[in-house]
């Protein structure tokens, strides 16, 4: 167990080394085979990365939000599916338990999660409940000292390999959150394939038929599943996705610059053409701006500011939007090679699109940001319309 905090610069160096040597060159193979191999998950666990944002007290590395963001960028630049494991296991599950679980539940699961002895996944979405996540139809009922769960979850990243599921279910109008162990009778996993991005993230459907969950595995309290637990998880997940956008856009920027500096057409390097330079200039600007928004959200999280939630949404929205634009331009700069899976641009393009959908779509972020804008600015104008 990591009892003292390791020098953060040492962690970042190890993360960059892991990203470059263990995953960058294999990312396209993981994507093609739709499989993140066990050795990658084991190395992440051994390096402590799966508990990167968990306090040392619970076996984690105790990175602060800015340090964790930097680590997420390093890993996300090399492989989106490997980064997705951090988003799901570390941000959505472990960080949520740090904040919302009882000490008893932490003792039962958190150290195992931080050390990667168990893998966690986040089971909120259903076929009929996506953006409107509060409309889940998975149900629970209490019977003596257990809760009984029935229902079906869809699109659950890493459900194919996870040991522990953070599951959201309803009784009447009360949504509650439960930790369900994989090997509980009545749990059935059906792997899903053919996704646009995060293809190696062991996505699966999970069905629960009369699944008995010990009462102590209720997270927080009855009826707090959506408002408290899911919202905490999504706050952490969005921060991770914001950095994922920076990571993918940075990888695309480097790809397009390297290509434009070599590729010749009409007797000159294409990088000397001003229309190509415009795409590179836009990418440099957008990546820099997205990284600064992520850092701003990170600083506010460190200060425990109430603005951290909306600034995380803003960072997630901006960063996933520019990742989509920058990766599209990377495909453009690489031309035919940009459309070919022997070059990274097409994979980055697919991975970027997914970021606009997961952890709350861009439209949902826009609704929340606009609401914030009205509250903050509608009364502070210079009197237009009065
Ligand atoms: C790669 C991947 C990994 C995922 N991993 C997980 C996971 O680990 N755990 C999990 O629980 N879920 C996961 N999901 C599911 C994901 O959270 C949902 O796909 C997402 O929340 C969107 O829900 P939906 O697909 O049902 O789309 P819908 O909610 O049906 O939305 C469809 C479209 O309608 C728009 N829309 C909906 N409501 C509004 C509104 N009020 N105003 C404006 N526009 C609106 C949306 O923005 C979107 O463009 C994953 C999905 C993907 C693609």
Name the β-bridge partners of 137: none
Please give the distance, rounded to the nearest whole angstrom, from the Cα atom of residue 359 to the centre of ligand 1. Answer: 8
d(CA 222, CA 205): 25
**Which atom of ligand 1 has the smallest separation from the CA of 361?**
47
Please give the distance, rounded to the nearest whole angstrom, from the Cα atom of residue 308 to the centre of ligand 1. Answer: 23
Give the single-character DSSP code of 182: T
Kindly report, residue by residue over 16-37, the tens digit of the pLDDT: 999 999 999 999 999 999 999 9
| Main-chain phi, psi angles of 157, to 5 degrees | -65, 135
Cα angle 340, 342, 343; round to 5: 80
> Closest Cα to residue 83, out of 200, 225, 214?
200
Please give the distance, rounded to the nearest whole angstrom, from the Cα atom of residue 127 to the centre of ligand 1. Answer: 10
Mutate to test the pocket of ligand 1, among 151, 240, 357 (most ligand atoms within 8 A of CB): 357
Tell me the CB-side half-sphere exposure of residue 114, using CA atoms within 13 A: 25
Give the single-character DSSP code of 7: P
pLDDT of residue 6: 77
d(CA 245, CA 38): 25
Kindly report, residue by residue over 324-383, the tens digit of the pLDDT: 999 999 999 999 999 999 999 999 999 999 999 999 999 999 999 999 999 999 987 666
Specify the residue with its C-alpha closest to ligand 1, atom 45.
363
Mutate to test the pocket of ligand 1, among 84, 119, 131, 364 (most ligand atoms within 8 A of CB): 131
Could you tell me the sign of the dihedral formed by the alpha carbons of 327, 328, 329, 333, in that order?
A: positive
Packed helices 308-334 and 362-377: angle between N→C axes, nearest 10 degrees: 130
Q: Is the CB of 125 under 6 A from ligand 1?
A: yes
Question: Is residue 386's pLDDT more than 80?
Answer: no
**Tokens representing 54?**
């968990």
CA dist 247 to 56, 80, 351, Å? Answer: 26, 9, 11
Terminal C-alpha separation, the chain: 63
For residues 93 and 122, the answer to whether their CB atoms sit within 8 Å is yes
Q: Is the CB of 368 under 6 A from ligand 1?
A: no
Please give the distance, rounded to the nearest whole angstrom, from the Cα atom of residue 131 to the centre of ligand 1. Answer: 5
Kindly report, residue by residue over 264-323, the tens digit of the pLDDT: 999 999 999 999 999 999 999 999 999 999 999 999 999 999 999 999 999 999 999 999
Helices (H) and strands (E) in the chain, counts: 13, 10
Please give the distance, rounded to the nearest whole angstrom, from the Cα atom of residue 136 to the centre of ligand 1. Answer: 13
Hey, which residues are catalytic here?
Answer: 359
Q: Is the CB of 241 under 6 A from ligand 1?
A: no
Q: Is the CB of 130 under 6 A from ligand 1?
A: yes
d(CA 335, CA 260): 11
Specify the residue with its C-alpha closest to ligand 1, atom 22.
130
For residues 295 and 308, the answer to whether their CB atoms sit within 8 Å is no
Please give the distance, rounded to the nearest whole angstrom, from the Cα atom of residue 269 to the centre of ligand 1. Answer: 42
**Local structure of 249: helix, strand or coil:** helix
CB environment 45-74: b (16+ within 10 A), e (fewer): bebbbbbbbbbbebbbbbbebbbbbbbbbb
Kindly report, residue by residue over 173-215, the tens digit of the pLDDT: 999 999 999 999 999 999 999 999 999 999 999 999 999 999 9
For residues 138 and 169, the answer to whether their CB atoms sit within 8 Å is yes
Task: List CB contacts of 83: < 8 A, sequence separation 6 or more.
Answer: 72, 75, 76, 240, 244, 247
Q: Is the CB of 354 under 6 A from ligand 1?
A: yes
Q: Is the CB of 219 under 6 A from ligand 1?
A: no
Give the single-character DSSP code of 160: T
Please give the distance, rounded to the nearest whole angstrom, from the Cα atom of residue 130 to the centre of ligand 1. Answer: 4
State the CB neighbour count (10 A cutoff) for residue 381.
Answer: 9
Q: Is the CB of 277 under 6 A from ligand 1?
A: no
Q: Is the CB of 200 under 6 A from ligand 1?
A: no
Q: Is the CB of 357 under 6 A from ligand 1?
A: yes
Instruction: Walk me through the domains of the chain, giving residue ranges and CATH numbers.
Output: 8-118 (1.10.540.10), 122-222 (2.40.110.10), 226-376 (1.20.140.10)
**What pLDDT band is residue 157 in, cutting at 50, 70 and 90?**
very high
Tell the residue number behind the tokens 């998880």, with chain if given. 233
**Tokens representing 35?**
């499989």
**Which atom of ligand 1 has the smallest separation from the CA of 125?**
11
Kindly report, residue by residue over 223-263, the tens digit of the pLDDT: 999 999 999 999 999 999 999 999 999 999 999 999 999 99
**Local structure of 280: helix, strand or coil:** helix
Kindly report, residue by residue over 23-82, the tens digit of the pLDDT: 999 999 999 999 999 999 999 999 999 999 999 999 999 999 999 999 999 999 999 999
């Amino acid at each position: 167990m990591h009892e003292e905090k390791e020098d953060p610069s040492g962690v970042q160096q190890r993360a960059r080394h892991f990203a470059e040597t263990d995953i960058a060159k294999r990312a396209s193979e993981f994507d093609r085979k739709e499989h993140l191999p066990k050795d990658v998950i084991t190395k992440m666990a051994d390096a402590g990365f799966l508990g990167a944002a968990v306090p040392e007290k619970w076996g984690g590395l105790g990175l602060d939000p800015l340090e964790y963001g930097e680590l997420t960028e390093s890993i996300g630049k090399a492989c989106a599916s490997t980064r997705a494991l951090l988003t799901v296991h570390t941000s959505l599950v472990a960080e949520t338990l740090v904040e919302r679980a009882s000490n008893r539940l932490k003792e039962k699961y958190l150290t195992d999660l931080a050390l990667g002895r168990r893998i966690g996944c986040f089971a909120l979405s259903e076929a009929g409940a996506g953006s409107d996540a509060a409309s889940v139809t998975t149900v629970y009922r209490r019977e003596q000292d257990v809760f009984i769960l029935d229902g079906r979850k869809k699109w659950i990243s890493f459900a194919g390999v996870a040991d522990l599921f953070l599951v959201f279910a309803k009784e009447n109008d009360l949504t509650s959150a439960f930790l369900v162990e994989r090997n509980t009778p009545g749990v059935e996993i059906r792997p899903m394939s053919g996704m646009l991005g995060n293809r190696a993230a062991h996505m699966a459907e999970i069905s629960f038929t009369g699944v008995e969950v010990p009462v102590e595995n209720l997270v927080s309290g009855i009826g707090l599943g959506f408002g408290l637990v899911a919202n905490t998880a999504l706050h952490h997940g969005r921060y991770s996705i914001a950095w994922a956008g920076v990571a993918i856009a940075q990888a695309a920027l480097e790809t397009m610059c390297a290509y434009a500096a070599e590729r010749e057409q009409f007797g000159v390097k294409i990088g000397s053409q001003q229309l190509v330079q415009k795409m590179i200039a836009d990418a440099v600007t957008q990546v820099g701006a997205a990284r600064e928004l992520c850092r701003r959200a990170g600083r506010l999280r460190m200060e425990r500011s109430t603005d951290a939630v909306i600034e995380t949404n803003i960072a997630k929205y901006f960063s996933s939007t520019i990742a989509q634009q920058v990766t599209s331009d990377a495909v453009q700069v690489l031309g035919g090679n940009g459309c070919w899976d022997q070059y990274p641009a097409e994979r980055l393009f697919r991975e970027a699109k997914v970021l606009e959908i997961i952890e709350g779509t861009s439209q949902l972020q826009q609704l929340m940001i606009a609401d914030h804008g009205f509250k903050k600015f509608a009364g502070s104008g210079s009197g237009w319309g009065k």
